[in-house]
Protein backbone atom coordinates (compact mmCIF):
# COMPACT_ATOMS: atom_id res chain seq x y z
CA UNK A 1 0.00 0.00 0.00
CA UNK A 2 1.34 3.41 -0.97
CA UNK A 3 1.16 6.25 1.54
CA UNK A 4 0.48 9.88 0.69
CA UNK A 5 3.35 12.36 1.01
CA UNK A 6 1.32 14.34 3.57
CA UNK A 7 1.56 11.36 5.94
CA UNK A 8 5.21 11.81 6.90
CA UNK A 9 4.81 14.18 9.86
CA UNK A 10 1.67 12.55 11.27
CA UNK A 11 3.06 9.02 11.04
CA UNK A 12 6.35 10.09 12.62
CA UNK A 13 4.53 11.60 15.62
CA UNK A 14 2.16 8.61 15.86
CA UNK A 15 5.08 6.16 15.80
CA UNK A 16 6.97 7.99 18.56
CA UNK A 17 3.86 8.15 20.76
CA UNK A 18 3.04 4.49 20.12
CA UNK A 19 6.54 3.39 21.13
CA UNK A 20 6.69 5.59 24.24
CA UNK A 21 3.24 4.58 25.52
CA UNK A 22 3.85 0.89 24.77
CA UNK A 23 7.20 0.88 26.58
CA UNK A 24 5.71 2.63 29.61
CA UNK A 25 2.73 0.24 29.63
CA UNK A 26 5.01 -2.82 29.54
CA UNK A 27 7.26 -1.41 32.26
CA UNK A 28 4.49 -0.50 34.69
CA UNK A 29 1.68 -2.93 33.82
CA UNK A 30 3.61 -6.03 32.71
CA UNK A 31 1.13 -8.58 31.29
CA UNK A 32 -1.77 -6.14 31.65
CA UNK A 33 -0.04 -3.81 29.22
CA UNK A 34 -1.90 -5.51 26.35
CA UNK A 35 -5.07 -3.76 27.51
CA UNK A 36 -3.36 -0.52 26.51
CA UNK A 37 -1.25 -1.67 23.58
CA UNK A 38 -3.93 -3.49 21.56
CA UNK A 39 -6.40 -0.55 21.31
CA UNK A 40 -3.45 1.74 20.67
CA UNK A 41 -2.29 -0.53 17.85
CA UNK A 42 -5.71 -0.28 16.21
CA UNK A 43 -5.58 3.52 16.34
CA UNK A 44 -2.00 3.46 15.02
CA UNK A 45 -3.08 1.24 12.11
CA UNK A 46 -5.95 3.61 11.29
CA UNK A 47 -3.44 6.44 10.82
CA UNK A 48 -1.78 4.43 8.06
CA UNK A 49 -5.18 3.54 6.61
CA UNK A 50 -6.18 7.19 6.48
CA UNK A 51 -3.16 8.14 4.34
CA UNK A 52 -3.52 5.29 1.84
CA UNK A 53 -3.24 6.05 -1.88
CA UNK A 54 -5.42 3.63 -3.89
CA UNK A 55 -4.52 2.70 -7.46
CA UNK A 56 -7.18 4.07 -9.82
CA UNK A 57 -7.36 4.10 -13.61
CA UNK A 58 -8.23 7.71 -14.44
CA UNK A 59 -9.86 8.28 -17.84
CA UNK A 60 -9.86 11.37 -20.04
CA UNK A 61 -12.96 13.57 -19.68
CA UNK A 62 -14.37 16.58 -21.54
CA UNK A 63 -18.00 17.16 -20.57
CA UNK A 64 -18.03 14.92 -17.50
CA UNK A 65 -17.71 16.25 -13.96
CA UNK A 66 -15.89 13.69 -11.82
CA UNK A 67 -16.30 13.13 -8.09
CA UNK A 68 -13.38 15.06 -6.56
CA UNK A 69 -13.25 12.93 -3.40
CA UNK A 70 -14.40 9.71 -1.81
CA UNK A 71 -17.44 10.35 0.36
CA UNK A 72 -21.18 10.88 0.49
CA UNK A 73 -23.21 13.42 -1.49
CA UNK A 74 -24.92 15.57 1.16
CA UNK A 75 -26.16 18.56 -0.83
CA UNK A 76 -27.38 19.36 -4.36
CA UNK A 77 -28.75 22.88 -4.40
CA UNK A 78 -29.00 26.06 -6.46
CA UNK A 79 -27.01 28.73 -4.62
CA UNK A 80 -25.43 32.14 -5.07
CA UNK A 81 -21.65 31.69 -5.47
CA UNK A 82 -20.25 35.05 -4.40
CA UNK A 83 -16.47 34.60 -4.52
CA UNK A 84 -15.70 33.92 -8.19
CA UNK A 85 -18.79 33.17 -10.28
CA UNK A 86 -20.72 35.99 -8.56
CA UNK A 87 -24.00 34.50 -9.60
CA UNK A 88 -26.19 31.44 -9.37
CA UNK A 89 -24.73 27.96 -9.63
CA UNK A 90 -25.57 24.38 -8.69
CA UNK A 91 -23.67 23.32 -5.59
CA UNK A 92 -22.81 19.64 -5.15
CA UNK A 93 -21.27 18.88 -1.74
CA UNK A 94 -19.51 15.66 -0.77
CA UNK A 95 -18.77 14.88 2.88
CA UNK A 96 -15.71 12.80 3.81
CA UNK A 97 -15.50 10.83 7.04
CA UNK A 98 -12.10 10.17 8.67
CA UNK A 99 -12.18 6.67 7.12
CA UNK A 100 -12.41 7.91 3.52
CA UNK A 101 -9.48 8.44 1.17
CA UNK A 102 -8.74 12.16 1.54
CA UNK A 103 -6.98 12.87 -1.73
CA UNK A 104 -8.66 15.83 -3.47
CA UNK A 105 -8.96 15.60 -7.25
CA UNK A 106 -9.87 17.98 -10.05
CA UNK A 107 -13.56 17.50 -10.90
CA UNK A 108 -13.04 18.82 -14.44
CA UNK A 109 -10.30 19.27 -17.00
CA UNK A 110 -9.15 22.67 -18.21
CA UNK A 111 -7.01 25.60 -17.09
CA UNK A 112 -6.71 26.81 -13.51
CA UNK A 113 -7.74 30.47 -13.59
CA UNK A 114 -8.15 31.24 -9.88
CA UNK A 115 -6.94 29.97 -6.50
CA UNK A 116 -7.22 31.37 -3.00
CA UNK A 117 -6.81 30.21 0.60
CA UNK A 118 -9.21 31.54 3.27
CA UNK A 119 -8.58 31.23 7.02
CA UNK A 120 -11.77 30.69 9.00
CA UNK A 121 -13.77 28.74 11.56
CA UNK A 122 -14.02 24.98 12.13
CA UNK A 123 -17.75 24.33 12.06
CA UNK A 124 -18.76 20.70 11.50
CA UNK A 125 -18.24 20.00 7.79
CA UNK A 126 -21.91 19.21 7.07
CA UNK A 127 -23.02 22.62 8.37
CA UNK A 128 -24.33 24.69 5.43
CA UNK A 129 -22.40 27.80 6.53
CA UNK A 130 -19.10 25.89 6.57
CA UNK A 131 -18.82 26.63 2.84
CA UNK A 132 -18.39 30.35 3.52
CA UNK A 133 -17.20 30.56 7.14
CA UNK A 134 -14.75 27.68 7.65
CA UNK A 135 -11.09 27.53 6.71
CA UNK A 136 -11.17 26.69 3.01
CA UNK A 137 -9.56 26.95 -0.40
CA UNK A 138 -11.23 27.97 -3.64
CA UNK A 139 -10.10 26.95 -7.13
CA UNK A 140 -11.69 27.81 -10.48
CA UNK A 141 -11.07 26.02 -13.78
CA UNK A 142 -11.98 27.10 -17.31
CA UNK A 143 -13.11 23.90 -19.04
CA UNK A 144 -12.76 22.82 -22.70
CA UNK A 145 -16.54 23.33 -22.95
CA UNK A 146 -16.04 27.04 -22.11
CA UNK A 147 -17.54 26.79 -18.63
CA UNK A 148 -16.12 28.05 -15.35
CA UNK A 149 -16.28 25.50 -12.56
CA UNK A 150 -15.45 26.41 -8.97
CA UNK A 151 -14.57 23.87 -6.29
CA UNK A 152 -13.75 24.32 -2.65
CA UNK A 153 -11.92 22.30 0.01
CA UNK A 154 -13.50 22.93 3.41
CA UNK A 155 -11.97 22.17 6.79
CA UNK A 156 -14.25 20.62 9.41
CA UNK A 157 -14.36 20.27 13.17
CA UNK A 158 -11.67 17.57 13.05
CA UNK A 159 -9.85 18.51 9.83
CA UNK A 160 -7.33 21.21 10.68
CA UNK A 161 -5.01 21.08 7.71
CA UNK A 162 -5.79 21.69 4.04
CA UNK A 163 -3.16 21.59 1.31
CA UNK A 164 -3.50 22.29 -2.39
CA UNK A 165 -0.75 22.13 -4.98
CA UNK A 166 -2.24 23.85 -8.02
CA UNK A 167 -1.32 27.30 -9.33
CA UNK A 168 -3.02 29.68 -11.73
CA UNK A 169 -2.14 28.70 -15.27
CA UNK A 170 -1.82 24.98 -14.49
CA UNK A 171 -3.56 22.43 -16.69
CA UNK A 172 -6.18 20.58 -14.67
CA UNK A 173 -6.98 16.98 -15.52
CA UNK A 174 -10.26 15.58 -14.23
CA UNK A 175 -9.66 12.87 -11.64
CA UNK A 176 -6.04 13.79 -10.97
CA UNK A 177 -4.85 15.03 -7.58
CA UNK A 178 -4.61 18.70 -6.70
CA UNK A 179 -4.65 18.60 -2.88
CA UNK A 180 -5.31 16.81 0.38
CA UNK A 181 -7.38 17.34 3.55
CA UNK A 182 -6.50 15.70 6.87
CA UNK A 183 -9.10 13.86 8.96
CA UNK A 184 -12.62 14.39 7.66
CA UNK A 185 -14.14 17.33 5.84
CA UNK A 186 -16.10 18.39 2.75
CA UNK A 187 -15.69 19.42 -0.88
CA UNK A 188 -18.11 21.67 -2.73
CA UNK A 189 -18.34 21.88 -6.52
CA UNK A 190 -20.17 24.81 -8.14
CA UNK A 191 -21.50 24.09 -11.63
CA UNK A 192 -23.36 26.06 -14.33
CA UNK A 193 -27.14 26.01 -13.99
CA UNK A 194 -27.64 24.04 -17.21
CA UNK A 195 -25.40 21.20 -16.02
CA UNK A 196 -27.00 17.74 -16.01
CA UNK A 197 -26.68 16.41 -12.46
CA UNK A 198 -26.23 12.64 -12.45
CA UNK A 199 -25.63 11.99 -8.75
CA UNK A 200 -28.25 12.27 -6.00
CA UNK A 201 -28.16 12.99 -2.28
CA UNK A 202 -26.97 9.94 -0.37
CA UNK A 203 -24.79 8.57 -3.18
CA UNK A 204 -21.37 7.21 -2.16
CA UNK A 205 -18.67 8.49 -4.50
CA UNK A 206 -15.24 7.26 -5.55
CA UNK A 207 -12.94 10.18 -6.25
CA UNK A 208 -11.53 10.24 -9.77
CA UNK A 209 -13.88 7.50 -10.99
CA UNK A 210 -17.55 8.36 -10.57
CA UNK A 211 -19.28 10.83 -12.90
CA UNK A 212 -21.46 13.17 -10.82
CA UNK A 213 -22.58 15.58 -13.57
CA UNK A 214 -22.28 16.37 -17.26
CA UNK A 215 -21.88 19.83 -18.79
CA UNK A 216 -23.31 20.89 -22.12
CA UNK A 217 -20.70 21.16 -24.87
Sheet holding 185-191, edge to edge: 171-172, 110-118, 136-142, 148-155, 185-191, 87-96, 71-81, 204-205
Q: Please, is 182 exposed, middle or buried when counting C-beta atoms within 10 Å of its C-beta (0-12, 13-18, 19+)?
A: buried
- Per the annotation, the verdict on 185 as an active-site residue is yes
Q: What is the CA radius of gyration of the chain?
A: 19
The rounded distance, in Å, linking the Cα atoms of 49 and 7 is 10
Residues 18, 116: Cα–Cα separation, whole Å: 37
* Selected catalytic residue, list 7, 130, 131, 185: 185
The residues annotated as belonging to the active site are 185
Amino acid sequence: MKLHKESKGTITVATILFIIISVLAIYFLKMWSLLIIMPLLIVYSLVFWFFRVPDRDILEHRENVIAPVDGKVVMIKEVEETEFIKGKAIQVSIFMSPLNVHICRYPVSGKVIYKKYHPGKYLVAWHEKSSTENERTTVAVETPTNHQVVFRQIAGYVARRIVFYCNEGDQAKAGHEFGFIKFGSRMDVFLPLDTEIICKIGDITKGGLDVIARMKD
